[in-house]
A and B are shown apart, each in its own frame.
Chain A
Amino acid sequence: NAGVTQTPKFRVLKTGQSMTLLCAQDMNHEYMYWYRQDPGMGLRLIHYSVGEGTTAKGEVPDGYNVSRLKKQNFLLGLESAAPSQTSVYFCASSTGTVQPQHFGDGTRLSIL
């Protein structure tokens, strides 16, 4: 049972570089989410998707873009990385808006 898989697990970038984080789920969930986790701040929603081909902004969307071309995949892009984007990024999925979310193990991203 893979559940939610995130790649890569670790990455170090230089300021201004770009990269894409990949999230894949094998549970046929409609809803997918990207969060960032920073010490003492819990999880903050970056973007989310309510189905294939849809995306929407969350609480902290600036500096990030997302795409959901396939139901099972949700990509998070950083076009021009900044040190303030150093964080742990979590992807999650669920069957509905009020249902529990299933999380991946996170991507630890450092931007120098």
Chain B
Amino acid sequence: AQSVTQLGSHVSVSEGALVLLRCNYSSSVPPYLFWYVQYPNQGLQLLLKYTSAATLVKGINGFEAEFKKSETSFHLTKPSAHMSDAAEYFCAVTEDTGGFKTIFGAGTRLFVKA
């Protein structure tokens, strides 16, 4: 059965600093991995997705994530944080096993300090 663990419920960075949000997963088959962002009082929006085509995935707003099978990780990064990046971020994993189940992590809230 798949699972997702996001390390750190809260992360605080200064504007212009590196953003690193950690996600580890477990899956019995090659997974499909996603990062979503949620702004206050809104639904989740897709940032990027991994579907085995390339291990480094680029998303919107300057975010990217690297799939590392040996570490079962899919960490999200952005070289330089902007105030508008303050939001909650969710990692999610789906298995293509004929059934359906997407598991979402508990979320990491990103704070950006001026």
Taking Cβ atoms with an 8 Å cutoff, the residues of A that contact B are: 4, 31, 40-45, 48, 50, 56, 90, 92, 97-98, 100-106
How far, in whole Å, are A13 and B44 apart by their CA atoms in the complex?
Answer: 25
B1, chain A: closest CB distance, angstroms: 11
Q: Which residues of B contact A41 (CB under 8 A)?
A: 106
Answer whether residue B69 sits at the interface, using C-beta atoms and an 8 A cutoff: no
B6, chain A: closest CB distance, angstroms: 8
How far, in whole Å, are A48 and B46 apart by their CA atoms in the complex?
Answer: 19
Contact A97 B9, beta carbon cutoff 8 Å: no
Q: How many B residues, CB 8 Å from partner? A: 23
How far, in whole Å, are A4 and B106 apart by their CA atoms in the complex?
Answer: 23
Contact A100 B90, beta carbon cutoff 8 Å: no
- A-B pairs under 8 A by CB, number: 50
Contact A100 B9, beta carbon cutoff 8 Å: no
Q: A45-B101, A50-B100, A104-B43 are in contact. Are A97 and B94 (CB under 8 A)?
A: yes
B13, chain A: closest CB distance, angstroms: 21
Contact A100 B106, beta carbon cutoff 8 Å: no
Contact B9 A98, beta carbon cutoff 8 Å: no
Q: A97-B96, A98-B51 are in contact. Are A90 and B107 (CB under 8 A)?
A: no
Q: A43-B104, A48-B100, A98-B32 are in contact. Are A105 and B43 (CB under 8 A)?
A: yes
Contact B104 A103, beta carbon cutoff 8 Å: no
15 additional A-B residue pairs with CB within 8 Å, beyond A98-B32, A102-B46: A42-B4, A42-B105, A43-B44, A92-B44, A97-B96, A97-B99, A98-B96, A100-B34, A100-B46, A101-B46, A103-B43, A103-B44, A104-B43, A105-B42, A106-B42
Contact B45 A103, beta carbon cutoff 8 Å: yes
Q: Which residues of B contact A45 (CB under 8 A)?
A: 101-102
Q: A40-B9, A42-B90, A43-B90 are in contact. Are A101 and B102 (CB under 8 A)?
A: yes
